[in-house]
Chains A and B, each alone.
Chain A
């Protein structure tokens, strides 16, 4: 039996036919700064961020869309950067974990809460959870409310293998409460 061009050992599928793949220039605004680079149509956004923008905080845990370590905000919405092509982000705004802290380097309330509540161990999934949690906080700032069950369902978008999630969940609840208290303070 001969295999080749090689089949995928895991699902037996054959490779897709090759398309014309000339590099093209894209401009992505990453954490407020424009990043210009030549990419192939198949270049993934996560590879663009890690290698062209040299922001290695966005991690690739699976390249398959399941683990969420590569989560970034694409025009404000959480997105798997491993399932997004760089060309799809052309002329878009991307926020990575490096863009969550304030301009002068102050950690966000969620980042501080993750430290306080031990919401990480090895730290590899942490960037994805920081970005996902930041999106949830933004929704809450716009008036959405979340029960603990709701938060668990949202956090189930990402995988953490170390912590058992409790510290992440506690940190997010804490940050939400702090944000609510602050906005109540401002309202008063």
Chain B
């Protein structure tokens, strides 16, 4: 039930999306819908070679074509566009040229080589075809092994190595006691399990590709950049620095963003090229990334291989963990650097109490598109090895997999818990979540269905995985220590308009996660007004207060939401003092009158009254009128009614949950069908349970794609995926039956108790599905080797089933 007139209790209810009426009419306004007079279209010529020297580029034929305004090479741009900066700048990281267009050497297929600006997309693509480039191919580093081999070609000769950065845990801090030895812990273990796991290179494929439109204003000159981004302020900083334009002359607007999933979290080359050419040509310029180029031009993610070792005592308690892993970073760091790889190590312990760890990460450059962020940001890469290895250990220990996890989860009375990599886990009731799963009728049914199907000779399995999700990414004081160049706080401005209605301007950016709706709920509750009297604005550096990290890392509800609360309290306090002045009362005696009281009586305008009197309240509109007239305010008070709230969290908030999957394998085709997903989750206080549920469901299906079908394959540096025909995202025919349940364990570290939920769905679904596949294949011992790589393609299933049959026949 969503209240329509009431003003208390919007938070926690499933208020319908505020975007619905626009979106179902096709009235959303995305970047590519923005058209400006005299606009020209920019397209990018991309390298067809994974690794080559650029010997020469002949642009003369392209330049001579009708309707072509500019054809420019990387060499020509080199002195005009400075190097990019790095949001994730891990200590010791090596960086590449950082230029939007290659000058003399290309290092991956898709790397920009030249730029055309022309009358429209058609003419511009014609001109691309007319550019002649002479390349001298170089040896290709097809993967991490090739890049680390003795005598391997160096992608960046000045580095002297193909290792981009390394990281290790635990951190040894001088003056503090030495951390416990993982070697000693493993040596003392009753059982040691070890496997090597691979998470494939995958990509977000938001349905809207990237796009940039830049308006040019000759006064100044100044730029207005429309771009499909999660982080307008980050784009502004990047463009300003790379083009040498003062930031106050640049306005960045994120219109409706048609999906992002982390992929649009950082600055891209085209976001600098488009404004550069708008200035150079003194006219508006647009860029619309085409889907085929998106598979090489938008940053992919994951691409890790990890050897994970766990040591257990006789009771199945984890004594120690060792991990060695590589990140296949691509040709050079994107502005995201090796951030996802760092997060994997820092968060590898997940929800478990592990006394001793020894983790080493190595990011390696190869001839592929550079990695960036994608929903989960290093955590799925951590969860898959951990949750698979726990299942493998459970079978060797003869312990039920659910029970093994119960014994190792951080206990409910152990929070806040500082783990062996130094992460402070804020709150949770992990064992309770496991118990709820075991009692869940859908889970009990799934186990029964599995047993019945098996008895009938079908290949059906059940698997589960536990996870936690690092959310509310901050605080600013910690960011420099982990290589993040910006702040971790966020901001909201609240204005009460002259008529008493409310305009909230958030520095968070919507991209489908629904903050227009959930923030309206939060603001209405906090200010005591009806939700229809609240407008949420965002995504414009000219009105949204500066924020650095913006919308990513599941920070909106907790950090953005808390900054909204701070702003609401500030604006209420000012209004209360004005109201007291108008009522000729002491401010301490004046209280807020909500637009509709909680007892459900008829709606009244929001206002203020003197506590304990029947004095006629002064309304928000009357207070606002006084604030904007300015002549009759309390002594010394500034006119106006607009307040800024900022919030920097004390620490992170960890959402968590459990996923169980029921799968069936087709012995003829090798296809895996996910029949059921049972998903328990906890993201602290839920602002809007409907949105939470949608985030979990959508994320879980992306996780299913990562488990079964999604992969960006390369053959000796040549990408094999260039369309949705090659890159298989889940379709409507592939959805499982879903059973969701939730608990709410608020975090103590935000003002509203909210943790994030954006990435929860995607983290543990792959491990749960693969554990179920392994269960369907039969006990670990009867198959040749456990499944340790995702995606699990049909050929892998057929191979496992064939091995199992052969083994049966010979025994």
Closest to A67 in B: B724
Q: Is A96 part of the binding interface, using a Cβ–Cβ cutoff of 8 Å?
A: yes
* A79 CA to B32 CA, complexed, in Å: 21
Q: Is the CB of A159 within 8 A of B207?
A: yes
Which residues of the partner chain A approach B133 to less than 8 Å between Cβ atoms?
Answer: 2-4, 6
User: B interface vs A, CB < 8 Å?
Assistant: 16-17, 19-30, 32-33, 35, 45-49, 52, 58, 109-110, 121-122, 126, 128-137, 204-209, 256-261, 288, 290-292, 295-296, 511-514, 690, 694, 697-698, 700-702, 719, 722-725, 729-733, 735, 738
Q: Is the CB of B129 within 8 A of A5?
A: yes
* A67 CA to B294 CA, complexed, in Å: 14
Which residues of the partner chain A approach B690 to less than 8 Å between Cβ atoms?
Answer: 118
A-B residue pairs in contact (CB < 8 Å), sample of 12: A9-B46, A55-B26, A56-B30, A59-B208, A61-B209, A67-B207, A100-B25, A123-B256, A124-B208, A155-B732, A156-B731, A163-B698
Nearest-CB distance from A29 to chain B (Å)?
18
Q: Is the CB of A122 within 8 A of B122?
A: no
Q: Is the CB of A115 within 8 A of B207?
A: no
Closest to A14 in B: B129
* A47 CA to B694 CA, complexed, in Å: 32
Q: Is the CB of A97 within 8 A of B701?
A: no
Which of A2, A9, A63, A130 is in CB contact (< 8 Å) with B26? A130
Q: Is A1 part of the binding interface, using a Cβ–Cβ cutoff of 8 Å?
A: yes
Which has the most chain A C-beta neighbours within 10 Å: B20, B29, B48? B20
A9-B110, A15-B129, A63-B290 known; A162-B259 Cβ under 8 A: yes
Q: Is A98 part of the binding interface, using a Cβ–Cβ cutoff of 8 Å?
A: yes
* A165 CA to B702 CA, complexed, in Å: 11
A9-B109, A111-B25 known; A1-B723 Cβ under 8 A: no
Q: Is the CB of B26 within 8 A of A56?
A: yes
Q: Is A152 part of the binding interface, using a Cβ–Cβ cutoff of 8 Å?
A: yes
Q: Is the CB of A123 within 8 A of B732?
A: no
Nearest-CB distance from B468 to chain A (Å)?
22
Nearest-CB distance from B140 to chain A (Å)?
13
Q: Is the CB of A166 within 8 A of B738?
A: yes
Q: Is A121 part of the binding interface, using a Cβ–Cβ cutoff of 8 Å?
A: yes
Q: Is the CB of B109 within 8 A of A124?
A: no
Q: Is A81 part of the binding interface, using a Cβ–Cβ cutoff of 8 Å?
A: no
Which residues of the partner chain A approach B511 to less than 8 Å between Cβ atoms?
Answer: 122
Q: Is the CB of B21 within 8 A of A58?
A: no
Q: Is A40 part of the binding interface, using a Cβ–Cβ cutoff of 8 Å?
A: yes
Q: Is the CB of A168 within 8 A of B128?
A: no
A9-B109, A9-B110 known; A57-B723 Cβ under 8 A: no
Which residues of the partner chain B approach A161 to less than 8 Å between Cβ atoms?
Answer: 204-207, 259, 261, 698, 702, 729
Nearest-CB distance from B111 to chain A (Å)?
10
Q: Is the CB of A10 within 8 A of B292?
A: yes
* A159 CA to B258 CA, complexed, in Å: 13
Which residues of the partner chain B approach A51 to less than 8 Å between Cβ atoms?
Answer: 35
Q: Is the CB of A66 within 8 A of B723?
A: yes
Which residues of the partner chain B approach A3 to less than 8 Å between Cβ atoms?
Answer: 48, 132-133, 135
Which residues of the partner chain A approach B129 to less than 8 Å between Cβ atoms?
Answer: 5-6, 15
Q: Is the CB of A2 within 8 A of B135?
A: yes
Which residues of the partner chain A approach B256 to less than 8 Å between Cβ atoms?
Answer: 122-124
Nearest-CB distance from B370 to chain A (Å)?
16
Which residues of the partner chain A approach B701 to less than 8 Å between Cβ atoms?
Answer: 164-165
Q: Is A78 part of the binding interface, using a Cβ–Cβ cutoff of 8 Å?
A: no
Which residues of the partner chain B approach A62 to less than 8 Å between Cβ atoms?
Answer: 291, 723-724
Q: Is the CB of A6 within 8 A of B135?
A: no
Which residues of the partner chain A approach B512 to less than 8 Å between Cβ atoms?
Answer: 120-123, 162
Which residues of the partner chain B approach A118 to less than 8 Å between Cβ atoms?
Answer: 16-17, 690, 694
Which residues of the partner chain A approach B260 to less than 8 Å between Cβ atoms?
Answer: 122
Q: Is the CB of A120 within 8 A of B135?
A: no
Which has the most chain A C-beta neighbours within 10 Å: B109, B205, B258? B258
Q: Is the CB of B723 within 8 A of A107?
A: no
* A61 CA to B698 CA, complexed, in Å: 18
Q: Is A188 part of the binding interface, using a Cβ–Cβ cutoff of 8 Å?
A: no
Known pairs A6-B131, A56-B26, A107-B25 / 14 extra A-B pairs, C-beta < 8 Å: A6-B133, A56-B33, A64-B723, A97-B24, A111-B24, A112-B24, A118-B16, A120-B19, A120-B512, A122-B208, A152-B735, A163-B694, A164-B701, A169-B732
A5-B130, A123-B512, A161-B206 known; A64-B725 Cβ under 8 A: yes
Q: Is A116 part of the binding interface, using a Cβ–Cβ cutoff of 8 Å?
A: yes
Nearest-CB distance from A65 to chain B (Å)?
9
A57-B26, A107-B21, A115-B16 known; A40-B137 Cβ under 8 A: no
Closest to B737 in A: A166
Q: What's the tally of chain A residues with a CB closer than 8 Å to chain B? A: 71
Q: Is A24 part of the binding interface, using a Cβ–Cβ cutoff of 8 Å?
A: no
* A155 CA to B511 CA, complexed, in Å: 23
A3-B133, A122-B206 known; A64-B292 Cβ under 8 A: yes
Nearest-CB distance from B164 to chain A (Å)?
24
A6-B48, A64-B292, A107-B25 known; A156-B733 Cβ under 8 A: yes
Q: Is the CB of A57 within 8 A of B513?
A: no
Interface residues in A1-43 (C-beta closer than 8 Å to B): 1-12, 15, 18, 40, 42-43
Which residues of the partner chain B approach A165 to less than 8 Å between Cβ atoms?
Answer: 701, 730-732, 735
Contact flags A123-140 to B (C-beta < 8 A → 1, else 0):
111110010000000000
Nearest-CB distance from B488 to chain A (Å)?
25
* A56 CA to B22 CA, complexed, in Å: 12
Which residues of the partner chain A approach B291 to less than 8 Å between Cβ atoms?
Answer: 61-64, 67
Closest to B704 in A: A164
Closest to B511 in A: A122
* A57 CA to B724 CA, complexed, in Å: 22
Q: Is A114 part of the binding interface, using a Cβ–Cβ cutoff of 8 Å?
A: yes
* A50 CA to B21 CA, complexed, in Å: 20
Q: Is the CB of A160 within 8 A of B134?
A: no
Which residues of the partner chain B approach A42 to less than 8 Å between Cβ atoms?
Answer: 122
Which residues of the partner chain A approach B700 to less than 8 Å between Cβ atoms?
Answer: 164
Q: Is A86 part of the binding interface, using a Cβ–Cβ cutoff of 8 Å?
A: no
Q: Which 10 A-B pairs have the closest CB atoms?
A: A57-B26, A124-B258, A122-B512, A123-B23, A4-B132, A115-B20, A97-B26, A121-B512, A10-B722, A66-B724
Which residues of the partner chain B approach A111 to less than 8 Å between Cβ atoms?
Answer: 24-25
Which residues of the partner chain B approach A61 to less than 8 Å between Cβ atoms?
Answer: 207-209, 291
Q: Is A75 part of the binding interface, using a Cβ–Cβ cutoff of 8 Å?
A: no
* A168 CA to B701 CA, complexed, in Å: 14
Q: Is the CB of A57 within 8 A of B25?
A: yes
Which residues of the partner chain A approach B109 to less than 8 Å between Cβ atoms?
Answer: 9-10
* A60 CA to B30 CA, complexed, in Å: 11
Q: Is A45 part of the binding interface, using a Cβ–Cβ cutoff of 8 Å?
A: no
Nearest-CB distance from B263 to chain A (Å)?
11
Nearest-CB distance from B580 to chain A (Å)?
42
* A123 CA to B23 CA, complexed, in Å: 5
* A4 CA to B295 CA, complexed, in Å: 22
Nearest-CB distance from B294 to chain A (Å)?
9
Nearest-CB distance from A142 to chain B (Å)?
22
Q: Is the CB of B28 within 8 A of A101?
A: no
* A46 CA to B719 CA, complexed, in Å: 28
Closest to B700 in A: A164
Q: Is the CB of B16 within 8 A of A116?
A: yes
Which residues of the partner chain B approach A59 to less than 8 Å between Cβ atoms?
Answer: 30, 32, 207-208, 258
Q: Is the CB of B26 within 8 A of A96?
A: yes
Closest to B694 in A: A118
A64-B725, A159-B207 known; A124-B20 Cβ under 8 A: no
Which has the most chain A C-beta neighbours within 10 Å: B17, B46, B256, B261? B17
Which residues of the partner chain A approach B52 to less than 8 Å between Cβ atoms?
Answer: 1
Closest to B696 in A: A164
Closest to A2 in B: B134
* A57 CA to B30 CA, complexed, in Å: 10
A6-B131, A130-B24 known; A168-B732 Cβ under 8 A: yes
* A120 CA to B110 CA, complexed, in Å: 31
